[in-house]
Structure 1
Amino acid sequence: MYILFIVSLCFIFYISYIVFEKDMFAPPVMMVLVFMACACVPMTRYEDWRLAEYGAQSVLLLILGIISFLSGSLLAYCISHYRYNSILLTRASDIRKRIIITSWGFALMFGLGLVEIFMLADYIRATVVSMNFPHSSLGSMLFSYRVIDVNNLIPKEFAMPSYLRLLRYSVEVFSAFAVYVLLHNFILQCYKKSDMWLVLIILLWPVNSLLVSARGHILNLLAEIVYLIFFFYGVKYGFNFRIAIHVISKGVKLLFVFFILFFVFAIFQGRIHSGNTLFNSATVYAGGGIRAFDLFVKAPKDKNTGMLGNDETLMGIGSFLNMHLGIGKKPLGPLEFRNIAGKNLGNIYTAFRRYYSDFGTFGIVFFSAILGFIMNYMYMKSKNACIKGKTVFEVLLFSWMSRFIFYMPIEEYFYGSTITLSGIYKIVLLYILYRIFSEKKIFINGRGCICSRHH
C-alpha cells in the first residue's frame, strides 16, 4: 500500500506540473514534490517502521489532502489569470530600485535583536535552574529547556513574559526583511558593500533558534531565500525552465546547508547518542510525520473537547478563548510522541493530522483547499509583478510564508502560527518595514515622528 502511495504521488506531481504550466515553483507543484521526497525517506526504514502495515485509509486521506490543496490552488490560478491579464500594476514602483536600510533603521533592529537574545538566554537559564533540570553546560541547559517546553511543563509563574515574546516576533521579522533587502540588492545589481552588515540582522533569528532548540526555524529562512532568488532571477533573466533548474540547484545546496546546521544543533544540544543516531534523526524529521500519521489514524488520541475540535488546527484562537475568556481547555501546541516497534517516530504527523483530528475528513478537504488558494494566489500576484518589473508587498510576504509549503509533509504551521495575534503582528510589522524602506512612502523624521512621503 505504501509503494502505491509513492506511485500515486508521482502521478499527481506529473499532472500538477502540466496543469500549472510546467512551473516547478508554483506552490501546488512544489508541495507535491516535497511530499514525494519526504515519502521516499521512510523507504530506507521499510522493515523497522513496518511500512508493509501502512493503512489504506491513511493513504486515501493523504491523497485527499494533497488533491484538496491542488484544487484550491487551481481556483487561485484561474482567478489570477483572469485579473492580472487585464490589469496593469501602474501604481507600483520599479522593483529594480535599490533598497536602503538607513543607519538608524539598522541600529534599531540590530540593537533590539541583541537585547532580545540576552533576555531570552537569561529567561531560559532562570527557567531551567528554577525547575531543577540539568544545566551543567550550555548544551545540557538548552536541551533541558527543550524537554520542558515540548512536554508543556512550564508552569504559569515561569511563562515567558509578553514583552519578550513580542521582541522574539520582531526579531524574526527583522531577519526576514534583511534577507529580502540583501538578496534584492545583490541579485538585481544595486548592491553596495555596506549591505553586508545586514548579515548581522539575518543571523539573529538562527541564534534564537539555537537557544530555543527550534532547528526548523532555519528552514523558514532557507525557504524564503529560495523563493526570493527565484523571483529576483525571474526579474533579471525572465521566468523559464533554465532559471527554475538553476534555482532548484541552489535550493539543493541550501538544503544541504540546512542538514549540516540541523545536525550541528542536534550534536551541540546532546540529541545525538547511541539511541538516536544522525541517520535516525534525519529520517524521523523528514519522513517520520508520514509514518506517524498512519499510527494516529489507526489509534487517535482522546478528544480534548476544545471549542474548535481538539484545538489543534486553530491553536491561536483556542488559546485566546481559554486565556482571556476562560472558554474551553488550553490547547497543547506540541503533539504526543509516537513509537513503533520500540522506535521513536517523534511528534510530527504531517499538516493533515491536525485538520483530521479537529474536523475529520471535512477538515482535511477544507483547510487544505483554503491554504492552497491563499498560497497560490499570493504566488501568482508576486510572479505577475516580477514579470512586469514592479515591486509589491506580496513578493516579500509570500517568500516569508513559503515555509508552509515545505512543512506540509512534516507539520501544520499556517493556521497555528498565522491565524493568531502574533501572526497578525508579524505581518503588520513586515508591511511597515516594507513601506518604510522599500516603497519609501513612510519615513521617520529627526523628531521621531512618522510621516507620509509624497512623490
Structure 2
Amino acid sequence: MLYLLLIVTLVFTLFNYKLVKKDLLHPSFIFSFMFFIYTFMCVINKKYFAITLHLPTVLVITIGLGIFTFFAARGEQTTGSTIVEKENTLKKIIIPNAVVFTLIVIQIITIFSFIIYLTDISMSYDKTSRSLSEMISLFDTMTKFWIPTFEKLNVAVPMFYRIGNPISTAGSYIILYVMVHNYVINKKINVLHVISVLLLCVLIILNGSRSPLFRVITMAFVIYFILSYKTGQIEIGNRKNLLKVVWLGVGVVLLFIIMLFAMGRSDKIGNLGSYLFIYAGAPIVNLDTWIMNNTPRLFGGHASIIGEQTFRTLYTYIAKLLHMPHLVHGTIDAFTYSSNGIEIGNVYTMYYKYIYDFGYIGVIILTAILAWYYIGTYKKIKKSSVIGRFSLRLFIYAYLFNDLIMSTFSARFYETVFDAPFIKLMIIVIFVKVFYFDHNKLKVWLNKPIRIEKFSEESYE
C-alpha cells in the first residue's frame, strides 16, 4: 500500500502540474506535491521504521487529492489569463521612515519584555539560572507538553509584552508585505524594513517555535512570485522557477537545522535523518496507525462537541473570553511509535482531526472548504489588480499559504484562522488598511472633496 500511495500522489502531482499549466504556486499542485514528498520520505525510511500502510489511509489521502484536483479543474475552466499590471499602476507603497522607526522601537521593547518573562518563568520553575537558549527550550516544552505545570507557575506576562506583541507582530507583517511589494517594483529595499522583519524573526525564535518563521519565509516568497507573475517579470512554467523553489527548500531546511542550536535543541542533530522524518513522513504513518486502531465511522466521530479538535483554538479563545472552561478539551496529539517501537512524533496530517471530529465525511467537507478557499482566492488574485495598493486579499492568502503547505503535517488552516493571534492580527491589519492605506476611500464614503478618478473600480476589495 505504501508504494501504491507513492504512485497515487505522484500521478496527482504530475496531473495537477499539467492541469494548472505548470503553475508552481497553484494550490492543487502544492497540495499534491507535499503529499508526494511525505510519501516518498516514508518509502526511504520504510525499513528503518518498519512502515506499512493500509487501504483506508490510502483512500483518505486519495479523496483529498481528488477534491483539490476537482476544484482546480473547475477553476481552470473559468479562469482567464493572469492580468499583467500596466506601467502606470506600478506604484510604491509609502510608509514614512518615522513610522517604521517607531515600530522598531516597539519591537525592541517587546523583545526585552519577553526575555524578562522567560527569565521569570525559569526562576519560578526551579530557581535555576539558564542561558537564553535553555530558557527558550524550557518555555517551548512547558507550553506544549507541561501545560498544567506551566499554569501552576502563574507567572505574570509583562504589560509591555502583552500590548506590544500584537502591535509589533502585525506591524512587521505589514512591513514585510510592503518591502516585497516595493522590491518587485524598483528592486530596492529599505534598511528599516529589513530591521523590522528581522526583529519579528527574533521574537519568533524567542517563543521557541519555528513554524511562524517558516510562515514569514513562505509569505515573502508567495508575495514576490505572485507580484512578479503579474508584472511579467516571471513567466509561469519557466524551469528556472522550479530551480528557485528547490534552492529555497534546501535553504529553509538548513536554516531550521541551524535554529536547533539557537533554541537549545542541538541534541537532535545526532540523529538528523530520523528527526527530519518525524516532520516530513511520519504524520502519514501516525494517521494510518490511528485509523487502524480506532476504525472510524463514515458519519460521526469521537468529539464531545462539534469540531472539538478541528476548531480547538476557537473554543479555547471563546472559553477565555467568556470564562467557559468546559469548552476547552485536551489535545489528542499523543506521541506515537512506529511498529518496531521507535518514537515518531505526535502529528497525524490534517485528516486526523477531521476524522476524529466528524468521521470520514469530515475529510470530504473540510478538505472541500480548504480547496474552495485556496483555489478560489488564488484565482481572484490572478484576475484582479494588486500592484498599486495594499491588497488585503493577497496579504491574507500569502499569510495562510504556509498552512496549505503544512496540511500534510496537521490541520494548520483551521488552527490558524480560529486562533486568537490571527484574529488580533487581522483586526490590526484591517484597521491600518482602512485608516492609512485606504484613507482616501474613507473621504469618498464621507462625501468629502477628492479626485475620485484616481481609483479604479478594481482597486476596491
Provide the TM-score with structure 1 as the length reference.
0.85
Question: C-alpha deviations, 1:350-407, integer Å up to 9, x for none?
Answer: 1111211111111111111101111111111111225998863322221122111211
Aligned-residue offset at 1:315: 1.3
Aligned to 2:285: 291
User: Judging changes above 3 Å, is the alpha-carbon distance between structure 1 residues 295 and 160 closer, same or farther for their aligned structure 2 residues?
Assistant: farther
User: Judging changes above 3 Å, is the alpha-carbon distance between structure 1 residues 422 and 366 closer, same or farther for their aligned structure 2 residues?
Assistant: same
Aligned to 1:209: 204
Aligned-residue offset at 1:327: 6.0
Aligned to 1:259: 253
CA contact (8 A) 1:184 1:232 kept: yes
Aligned to 2:151: 155
Instruction: Provide the rounded CA distance (Å) in 1 between the counterparts of 2:125 and 2:119.
Output: 10
Question: C-alpha deviations, 1:215-259, integer Å up to 9, x for none?
Answer: 12221011112211211211332663355x333333322222222
Is 2:110 aligned against 1:132?
Answer: no
Aligned-residue offset at 1:283: 2.0
Aligned-residue offset at 1:276: 5.3
Aligned to 2:107: 113
Instruction: Provide the rounded CA distance (Å) in 1 between the counterparts of 2:449 and 2:411.
Output: 40
Runs ≥4 residues deviating over 6 A: 301-304, 387-391
User: Judging changes above 3 Å, is the alpha-carbon distance between structure 1 residues 417 and 134 closer, same or farther for their aligned structure 2 residues?
Assistant: farther
Question: C-alpha deviations, 1:98-120, integer Å up to 9, x for none?
Answer: 11211232033212211221122
CA contact (8 A) 1:318 1:330 kept: yes
User: Judging changes above 3 Å, is the alpha-carbon distance between structure 1 residues 298 and 135 closer, same or farther for their aligned structure 2 residues?
Assistant: farther
Where 1:62 maps in the other structure, the secondary structure is helix
Aligned to 1:447: none
The sequence identity of aligned pairs, in percent, is 17
Gaps of 5+ in 2: 452-461
Aligned-residue offset at 1:163: 7.4
- Out of 265, 268, 271, the residue aligned to residue 271 of structure 1 is 265
User: Judging changes above 3 Å, is the alpha-carbon distance between structure 1 residues 398 and 274 closer, same or farther for their aligned structure 2 residues?
Assistant: closer
Question: C-alpha deviations, 1:393-445, integer Å up to 9, x for none?
Answer: 322221122111211111222111212443232123223334566556479xx
Instruction: Provide the rounded CA distance (Å) in 1 between the counterparts of 2:233 and 2:240.
Output: 12
User: Judging changes above 3 Å, is the alpha-carbon distance between structure 1 residues 150 and 276 closer, same or farther for their aligned structure 2 residues?
Assistant: farther
Instruction: Provide the rounded CA distance (Å) in 1 between the counterparts of 2:246 and 2:385.
Output: 23
Aligned to 2:135: 141
Instruction: Provide the rounded CA distance (Å) in 2 between the counterparts of 1:93 and 1:75.
Output: 32
Give the letter aligned to residue 171 of structure 1: S
Aligned-residue offset at 1:17: 2.6
- Out of 167, 170, 177, the residue aligned to residue 170 of structure 1 is 167
Gaps of 5+ in 1: 444-450
CA contact (8 A) 1:65 1:364 kept: yes
Is 2:171 aligned against 1:180?
Answer: no
Instruction: Provide the rounded CA distance (Å) in 2 between the counterparts of 1:436 and 1:251.
Output: 36
Question: C-alpha deviations, 1:73-95, integer Å up to 9, x for none?
Answer: 555566x63xx79xx999x9965
Give the letter aligned to residue 279 of structure 1: G
Instruction: Provide the rounded CA distance (Å) in 2 between the counterparts of 1:145 and 1:162.
Output: 18
Give the letter aligned to residue 422 of structure 1: P
Instruction: Provide the rounded CA distance (Å) in 2 between the counterparts of 1:334 and 1:142.
Output: 24
Aligned to 2:43: 43
Instruction: Provide the rounded CA distance (Å) in 2 between the counterparts of 1:301 and 1:219.
Output: 34
Is 2:69 aligned against 1:70?
Answer: yes
Aligned to 1:8: 8
User: Judging changes above 3 Å, is the alpha-carbon distance between structure 1 residues 387 and 129 closer, same or farther for their aligned structure 2 residues?
Assistant: closer
Instruction: Provide the rounded CA distance (Å) in 2 between the counterparts of 1:166 and 1:353.
Output: 35
Aligned length: 438
Deviates more, 1:65-74 or 1:182-191: 65-74
Aligned to 1:381: 380
Where 1:155 maps in the other structure, the secondary structure is helix
CA contact (8 A) 1:28 1:70 kept: yes
CA contact (8 A) 1:42 1:287 kept: yes
Give the alignment of 1:51-66 within 5 angstroms: 51=51, 53-66=52-65
Deviates more, 1:404-413 or 1:65-74: 65-74
CA RMSD in angstroms comes to 3.4
Where 2:349 maps in the other structure, the secondary structure is coil
Instruction: Provide the rounded CA distance (Å) in 2 between the counterparts of 1:335 and 1:364.
Output: 18
Aligned-residue offset at 1:18: 3.2
User: Judging changes above 3 Å, is the alpha-carbon distance between structure 1 residues 453 and 256 closer, same or farther for their aligned structure 2 residues?
Assistant: farther
Aligned to 1:397: 396
Aligned to 1:246: 240
CA contact (8 A) 2:283 2:409 kept: yes
Instruction: Provide the rounded CA distance (Å) in 2 between the counterparts of 1:109 and 1:334.
Output: 39
Provide the TM-score with structure 2 as the length reference.
0.84
Aligned to 2:410: 411
- Out of 93, 100, 110, the residue aligned to residue 99 of structure 1 is 93
Aligned-residue offset at 1:265: 1.6
Instruction: Provide the rounded CA distance (Å) in 2 between the counterparts of 1:54 and 1:336.
Output: 19
CA contact (8 A) 2:118 2:139 kept: yes
User: Judging changes above 3 Å, is the alpha-carbon distance between structure 1 residues 165 and 261 closer, same or farther for their aligned structure 2 residues?
Assistant: farther
